[in-house]
Amino acid sequence: MAKTTAPLKITPLGGLDGIGKNMTALELGGDMILVDAGLMFPDDAQPGIDLVLPDYTYVLENEEKLRAIVITHGHEDHTGALPYLLMDLGTRVPVYGSRMTLGLVEGKLEEFNLEDAKLCEVASGQRIRAGAFDVEFFSMTHSIPGTLGAFVRTRQGTVLFTGDYKLDQTPVDGVLPSYAALNRFGEEGVDLLLSDSTNATEPGFTPSERSVSPALRHIIKNAEGRVFVACFASHIHRLQQVCDAAVSVGRKVVVTGRSMITNTKIARDLGYLSISQDDIVDAYEAEDIPDDKVVVLCTGSQGEPLSALARMAAGGHKTLTITPKDTVIISATPVPGNEKSVQSIVNSLSKIGCAVYDRSQTLIHVSGHGSQEELKLMIAMCKPRYFCPVHGEAVHLRAHAELAKELGISEERIFVLTNGETLLMRDHVVEVGEPVECGVVYVDGLSVGDADPLVLRDRQKLSHDGIITCVATVASGDHKVREVDITGRGVSFMDDELLLEEANDVVREAINRASNQKGRNADATRNAVRKQLSNFLWSQTRTRPMIIPVVMEV
């Protein structure tokens, strides 16, 4: 290979501040590739926001260099930003992924009218050339089929991306991690390892996916009525085990929930989900089948308010109803921040009187991410010269860094980064480079871009304390207040006549005081009303509703 003075630049643009929006750029001279393009779902501090994307401005600024986008697997936190990115880039850049991954990606792109995107299927053991990058793919086990890691060879050194993984010895589909490839890479020389940190705080090994099968089958076999199983729609291995358990005890499978219907169809079409057409029935047909012969696969394991499980728990599903003799299995772990939503659905189900099972009662869920001993094994197989933990919150990255130290990697060769920080590799030596500008992009309805912090603050304020509208009419001649009308939404004191009378007086006084000041203007008057009324309401109610003052001269 020809020598070059340009370093290999590795820039995580997302994935280092939580579980989501994974995206890493690799740049060498005039070439760049991108590994993953994921999203994150908003939290309570982002009311009204639909999705959170990594800020990929740096990619757009260097789009003429971009040679390929590599997607490790089909989960939203690795694929969800791809349609938005391709809308900005155009569809000339090839997207590489496994058959299952591209099957899910294709459906997303069709929703955005991006059917002409260049989707390139790859498999374990395959190598591609993308500019200055030689990328070799290898299989990994995770909670979705078709998960791949990537070993990237360049003139300046090598980088290994594990992707999301656990070292499952008995995977449902029989596809083991590529131990031979990992050890071969280790012998060849892994200069930098970027490894999944999700379960870096969990001791031991993560149980095999197959370990949930006995409990699922036992519950389904012995349930009196229908069995409703809520899990991630992308967890094809879990869906397969539910289907197998249902068929083995003579039950038909009903699929409900938009993403569940879509993903099961894709998985069956591609051969990743095996169940006879005779064993799947439409939700409308389920009414004609005895309750003890039905299993319902549905969305809602994260407490999503519009999911199938949430609507059934509230009695609002158009075809299916949960009764006291039914059984509900929540086969998932709540994503941090979703615990209250999940508990709310469990409470609704408990009021119905049906039996509810979750991971706290029996082994009906295991993680798709490796625990500490698996993370150690990965480092031991790859023998990296430098290490960078990725895919996690700060606590996970730090814990993973400590594991690397235990395995003999010196502290100065371990890099715990934040999004936008860069690593530079020259002749197999890695050091910290200059950071690039990085943040987040909000999807708010049809708007995609930076959300105004004031907008989010106002939404939080509205959700907490409501809104007050104060309309005052002022005489144009003597500037005396004629009338004040105070109305509110989402406030608890609108029926307190005495309080409203006092608030009316506060507004009158604020306007009169502002009118007597030199340089009086409409903005100053409105600000005075807002400030005085806000202070009064705080003193009387200990709430600060949003106040919209309207002052009109008549």
pLDDT higher than threshold 70 for residue 445:
no
Tell me which H or E stretch contains 426: strand 423-426
> What are the tens digits of pLDDT across the range 489-500?
878 788 888 888
The whole-number pLDDT of residue 372 equals 98
Report d(CA 511, CA 532) in Å as an integer: 10
**pLDDT of 11-22, one tens digit each?**
999 999 888 899
* Contact (Cβ atoms closer than 8 angstroms) between residue 328 and residue 363: no
- The predicted structure's pLDDT at residue 452: 47
Task: Name all domains of the chain by residue range, CATH numbers in brackets.
Answer: 8-204+367-449 (3.60.15.10), 209-357 (3.40.50.10710), 453-553 (3.10.20.580)
The answer for residues whose C-beta is within 8 angstroms of residue 433's C-beta and 6 or more apart is 7, 9, 422, 423, 424
Q: How many CB atoms lie within 10 A of CB 135?
A: 23
Residue 448 has pLDDT above 80, yes or no: no
Q: Catalytic residue numbers?
A: 196, 369
pLDDT of 492: 78
Furthest-apart CA atoms within the chain: distance in Å:
90
Mean pLDDT of 387-403: 96
Tell me the per-residue pLDDT of 321-357, one tens digit each, with 9 for 90 and over: 999 999 999 999 887 667 888 999 999 999 999 999 9
With contact defined as beta carbons under 8 Å apart, do 195 and 379 qualify?
yes
49: confidence class by pLDDT, cuts 50, 70, 90? low
> Would the pTM of this model clear 0.85, i.e. be above it?
no
Query: 273 to each of 63, 282, 520, how far by Cα in Å?
Result: 37, 17, 72
